Structure 1
Amino acid sequence: MRTLYFDCFSGISGDMVIGALIDAGADPVQMEEELKKLNIDEEYKLSWGKVVKNGITSTKFDVILTSKSEQTHEHSHSHGHEHSQEHGHSHSHSHGHEHSQEHGHSHSHGHEHNHNHNHSHVLHHHHGSRTYKQIVEAINEANFNESVTNRSLAIFKKIGEAEGHIHGLPLEKVHFHEVGAVDSIIDIIGAAILIDQLGIESVQSSAIPTGTGHIHIDHGIYPVPAPATLEILKGVPIASNDIRFELTTPTGAAIAAVLAETFGSLPAMTVESIGYGAGTKTFENHPNVLRIIIGENQ
C-alpha cells in the first residue's frame, strides 16, 4: 500500500505540507491548474522554490496575495490566528527571481482584479471574510475528483467545528477572515490535490509538537498551542517540545488529524521518495521543516 508519513519533528502547517509534497515530486503546476476551478485565482499567485534550512535543502511554498487581498494584507496578521505563522510574514520575501520560470504561463493577475465580479461564484469577497458554508459550496461546485473533494471538505469541517466550538457558533456561522481564508483554501485543497496526484492510499503521522510560548491572535494574547489548534488535536498524540514558537497551526493540525489513520513512529516501508517543506521560521538548533516519507508499506 502506498503510504505517506508526516514526520512532524518541527511541527506542521499548511504551507509546509505543500512544500514537502512538491519536494517529494508532486507537480505544483497541475495543482495550480486544478485550483483554478475555484475561480479565485485573480486573488493570489503561488510561488515555490528551493531554500536551505540549517543545512537541509527544502522547498518553500508561498501564497502571494494580489488585488483586494493585498490591501488587507498589512493588518491580516491580527486576524485569523490559524495563519499568523503559516503565511502572514512570508509574503514580504516571496521572491520572484527563483520562481519566475514557474509562473510565466499562468499569472497575469495585476490588472485583473477589477473584473473579479464577473464570475457568479460563491467565493468572492464578502466584507472581509468567507463563511464555512461558502467554502463548502465552492468546493462542491468546483468539480474536483471525489477524493480531493472529500479530503478538502473533511479538513475544513475539522477546522470549522473547532472554531465554532471555541466561539460558541454553529458550523454554518463560522467564518474565515479574508486573508486567512485564501491561504486556508489553497493549502487545504492544494494538499488534497497533491496527495491524490501521488496516488497515496494511506497516511500516517508522528506525534505532533505544538511549541510553547504565546501568540497574538485577533482576540488578544493566547498561549501556544492556540485554542483552535488544541481543539483540532483532541485525540491526537502531542509531542513535547520546548521551542517558544507556534510550530503547528490549525490548518496543519487539521490536515494531520483528518488524514492520518495512525500516529506513531515511522511504519515499516520501502521508501520511494522524501520531501522537505520549509516553514517561515529559522531556528538555531534544528531545521524548521516538515519531512514527508512516501513508500510501499510492508
Structure 2
Amino acid sequence: MKTLYFDCFSGISGDMVIGALIDAGADPNLLEAELKKLQIEDEYELKWKKVVKNGITSTKFDVILLNSQDDNPHVHSHEHDHSHDHEHNHSHDHEHDHSHNHEHQHNHIHELEHHHTHGHDHSHGHHHHAHRAYKDIVELIEAADFSPPIKEMALKIFKRIGEAEGHIHGIPLEKVHFHEVGAVDSIIDIIGAAILIHQLKVESIQASAIPVGTGKISIDHGIYPVPAPATLEILKGVPIEQSAMRAELTTPTGAAIIAVLAQEFGPIPSMKISSIGYGAGTKTFKQHPNVLRVIIGN
C-alpha cells in the first residue's frame, strides 16, 4: 500500500505541504495546469524553487498575488511565514536576516480567518472578490472540472476550517467569510494538496503528532496566544506536541489538511521508502530546520 507520512517536526502549513510534495516528486506543472480549472488564475501566480534551510535542501512554494490596482505583484508566502512583509520571493541567502522575527508580531494571516490585517494591507488587490464566503468557495470547487477524489478531499478540508471559524465566531457555516487574500492562498494550498496527493496515487496517509509552537500573535482582534483559536479548534482529536519554539508552527490551513487527511498519528511506519521531500517555511530558526518532511513508501 502506497503510504504518505507527514513528519511535522517543525509544524505544518499549506505552502509547506505543497513544497514537500513537489520535493518528493509530484509535478508542479500538472498542479499549475489543474488549478486553471478554477478559473481564478488572474488572481495569482505560482513560484517554486530550491532553498537551503539549516543545511537541508528543500522546496519553497509561493503564491504570488496579482495586484489589480498597482504594478507590484507581491509574494504572499501566506502561512507559516509572514515574518517579513510578503517575502519578496528571495531565496535562502536572505532568509537568515529574518530569524529574529519568529515572535510573530507580523499581524498575519490565519489564512482563512476573515479578520486578519497583516500589518501590510492587502485589501488593494482582488477588490472584485472582496470577501469569499464559504459557500462561494464550495461553488468554485464544485464548478471546476476536477476528478471526484480531488473535489471531495478539498471540500472536506475547507469544511473543517469553515466549521472551526463558525464555532469560534458563533456563526453558521454558510455565513463564514474568508479574507480575500487568505482565501486565494488557501484555495491554492488546499486544492493543490488534493491534486498532488491524487497524482502521487497515495492510498494511506499518516502523520506525526503536530507541534503548534508557543508565544503570541497579533491579529486585528488583538493579541492572541499560539496556537491561534482556529488552529486549535481544527486540531480537536489530533495529537499535538509541546514545543518551546516561540513561533506559530502550525497554521489553520496546515492543521486542516493534516486533520482531514491523516488516518493515523504516530511514529514513522514500517515501510520501504521510495521518496522523501522537504517543504520550506519562510522563517528561519537558529537551531532548527523550518521544513516539513514527507516520506512516501510501501
For the residue of structure 2 that corresponds to 1:85, the secondary structure is coil
Query: Which segments of 5 or more consecutive residues in structure 1 lack a partner in the other structure?
Result: 78-82, 97-123
Higher helix share: 1
What residue in structure 2 maps to residue 250 of structure 1? 252
What residue in structure 2 maps to residue 92 of structure 1? 87
Task: Confirm whether residue 188 of structure 1 aligns to residue 190 of structure 2.
Answer: yes
What residue in structure 2 maps to residue 65 of structure 1? 65
Q: Do the aligned residues in 2 keep the contact of 1:73 with 1:179 (CA within 8 Å)? A: no
CA distance in 1, matches of 2:174, 2:72: 24
Cα separation, partners in 2 of 1:273 and 1:70, compared to 1, 3 Å: farther
Counterparts of 1:82-121 in structure 2 under 5 Å? 83=78, 85-86=80-81, 89=84, 91-95=86-90
What residue in structure 1 maps to residue 108 of structure 2? none
Identity score, percent? 71
Shift of 1:69: 8.2
What residue in structure 2 maps to residue 41 of structure 1? 41
What residue in structure 1 maps to residue 7 of structure 2? 7
Deviations 1:100-152 (A, max 9, x none): xxxxxxxxxxxxxxxxxxxxxxxx85562100000000100002001100000
CA distance in 2, matches of 1:21, 1:128: 31
CA distance in 1, matches of 2:71, 2:134: 23
Counterparts of 1:96-175 in structure 2 under 5 Å? 128-175=130-177
What residue in structure 2 maps to residue 211 of structure 1? 213
For the residue of structure 2 that corresponds to 1:68, the secondary structure is coil
Task: Confirm whether residue 31 of structure 1 aligns to residue 31 of structure 2.
Answer: yes
Shift of 1:94: 1.3
CA distance in 1, matches of 2:69, 2:197: 28
Deviations 1:185-232 (A, max 9, x none): 000000100000000011000000000000112311100000000000
For the residue of structure 1 that corresponds to 2:136, the secondary structure is helix
Cα separation, partners in 2 of 1:160 and 1:274, compared to 1, 3 Å: same
Q: Do the aligned residues in 2 keep the contact of 1:69 with 1:179 (CA within 8 Å)? A: no
Q: Supply the AA of the counterpart residue of 2:219.
A: I
CA distance in 1, matches of 2:258, 2:182: 19
Task: Confirm whether residue 50 of structure 1 aligns to residue 45 of structure 2.
Answer: no
Query: Which segments of 5 or more consecutive residues in structure 2 lack a partner in the other structure?
Result: 92-125
CA distance in 1, matches of 2:220, 2:196: 31
CA distance in 2, matches of 1:160, 1:70: 31
CA distance in 1, matches of 2:140, 2:206: 28
CA distance in 2, matches of 1:26, 1:7: 17
Shift of 1:85: 3.3
Task: Confirm whether residue 17 of structure 1 aligns to residue 12 of structure 2.
Answer: no
What residue in structure 2 maps to residue 220 of structure 1? 222
Shift of 1:86: 4.5
| TM-score, normalization by structure 2 | 0.84
CA distance in 1, matches of 2:140, 2:85: 26
Q: Supply the AA of the counterpart residue of 1:289.
A: V
CA distance in 1, matches of 2:70, 2:31: 23
What residue in structure 2 maps to residue 199 of structure 1? 201
Q: Do the aligned residues in 1 keep the contact of 2:13 with 2:79 (CA within 8 Å)? A: no
Shift of 1:183: 0.4
Deviations 1:143-200 (A, max 9, x none): 2001100000000000000000000110000011010000000000001000000000
Q: Do the aligned residues in 1 keep the contact of 2:2 with 2:202 (CA within 8 Å)? A: yes
Cα separation, partners in 2 of 1:2 and 1:157, compared to 1, 3 Å: same
| TM-score, normalization by structure 1 | 0.84
Q: Do the aligned residues in 2 keep the contact of 1:90 with 1:280 (CA within 8 Å)? A: no
